Amino acid sequence: MSDSSPKKKKVVRSTSAPKTQRSTSSGDSERVWTPSPEAKKQATTFRIIALVLWALAIAGEVVAIFWILPMFRTTDNALWWLIGALVLIAILAIAGSLLWKRANVLDPASKKDAFRFWVQNQLGLIIAILAFLPLIILIFMNKDMDGKQKGIAGGIAIALMVAVGLLSAEFDPVSTEDMDERVAEVVALTGTNEVVWTTHGKVYHLCDAVSDVNRESSDMTIFSGTVEDAVAAGKSRLTLKVDQNLEQCGITPPAGGDTPVDEDPVEEE
């Protein structure tokens, strides 16, 4: 007779960071969030790659300005070369921005330094403008292009700049203060900086008894660690199903607190 009982997932302890990086006392007003060593390393790697990609995008702009635009004097294929360069610049800029934004989640800036916080989170948008605006201006000023060519190339360049800018801009940037609040939230609920998550889930949970993390998956693994570990693994916040987590973990809910309920069960794995 076959065993039809569901397979139990294994729980694996994350080793990317020490379990106690700071005091986890809920009354510690001097707590300062810092990324785990793994998260810091990943963020540094992502930022280096992003800077290289952005440098290539700017280099593409320089090539377009000093090599492709002058081609309009001598060849009919210059427009296609210019469109190709614009698309390549956009791809490089977007790829760099996505990596940079990911790095800012792993290793965010502090809101205490407002200028640095803004620049770090909006650098992708700045690069998008630098990579396209000078080229757009020179396209419309180019005396070797006719009106139709300027309209096509300029319109594509403007559309790409807007698209890259929107994808690069950070509309809800994460700060060290935000991450510190997330650690404090978990500590207030459970008394310790300890959470669990799964490979493909987008959030972290309060214990390995939660039904969402025990759904069948390809690796059949639940990971445990600190909030810092969870962030390093790509889980940026606590599940919104806090009431369900508290009940399934056997934790008494904090008095006087209303906990949100998430309406997206797919996100809560």
DSSP line for 111-146: TTSHHHHHHHHHHHHHHHHHHHHHHHHHHHH-TTS-
Identify which has the larger pLDDT, 16 or 216.
Answer: 216
pLDDT band with cut points at 50, 70 and 90 for residue 269: low
The more confident residue out of 110 and 21 is: 110
User: Percent of the chain, pLDDT > 90?
Assistant: 52
Contact (Cβ atoms closer than 8 angstroms) between residue 241 and residue 212: yes
User: What pLDDT was estimated at residue 25?
Assistant: 42
Q: Domain coordinates of the chain in residue numbers?
A: 10-19+194-249, 37-168
**Tell me: the pLDDT tens digits for 44-82?**
999 999 999 999 999 999 999 999 999 998 888 999 999
pLDDT of amino acid 85: 97
Tell me the residue ranges of DSSP E strands in the chain: 10-13, 195-197, 221-225
Residue 33 pLDDT grade (very low, low, confident, very high; cuts 50, 70, 90):
confident
Q: How far apart are CA 218 and CA 233, in angstroms?
A: 17
* Most confident among 128-132, 199-203, 210-214 (mean pLDDT): 128-132
Is the pLDDT score of 134 beyond 70? yes
Amino acid at 201: G
Average pLDDT along the chain:
85
The answer to whether 35 and 107 are in contact (CB under 8 A) is yes
Taking residues 192-199, report their average pLDDT.
90
* DSSP state letters, 29-65: TT------HHHHHHHHHHHHHHHHHHHHHHHHHHHII
Cα distances (Å, whole numbers) of residue 23 to 29, 33, 183, 185, 216: 10, 10, 11, 14, 35
Q: Does residue 167 or residue 25 have the better pLDDT? A: 167
Can you give the pTM of this predicted structure? 0.78
